[in-house]
Amino acid sequence: MALLLDTNAVVWWLTDSSRLSEVARATINAEVASGRVYVSAVSGFEMALGEARGTMPSAEDFIEDAESSGFRMLPFEAQDAVAVAALPRLHGDPFDRALAAQAQRRQLTLMTADRVLAQYPIAVYRL
């Protein structure tokens, strides 16, 4: 299963947080070995805004650490923006809506702890 990690999942991976279960870690490790774990440019953007507010660590370090973990960076394309508009208005967070649209367009499983994202017509791996 190809995975798209939401921002929290990536942060939890990179910080070795206990919020990411051993089963989820094993799933990520298995998919990294086959090159099928993605981190969206949307998460980098979200990190950069958080960094500017002083609520998140360095976006540049986040991206470098994600890439060195074997995750593939997923660009946010114009068609992703169009897909966001087509989603039902279930979630108010534009970053999460963008991740849902990317997962849907590319048939990726979104790894997330966000219960609202599980209501979208996408495959979700619940944390």
Q: Where are the domains of the chain?
A: 3-126
- What value does the mean pLDDT take over residues 84-111? 96
Mean pLDDT score across all residues of the chain: 96
- What value does the mean pLDDT take over residues 14-28? 96
Q: Token pair for residue 108?
A: 């990726």
pTM for the whole structure = 0.95
Mention the CATH class of domain 3-126: alpha beta
Tell me if 103 sits within 8 A of 110, measured CB to CB.
Answer: yes
Tell me if 38 sits within 8 A of 3, measured CB to CB.
Answer: yes
- What value does the mean pLDDT take over residues 22-51? 96
Residue with tokens 């991740």: 99
Q: Report pLDDT for 91.
A: 87
Whether 57 has a pLDDT exceeding 90, the answer reads: no
Which of the four pLDDT bands, split at 50, 70 and 90, describes residue 54? very high
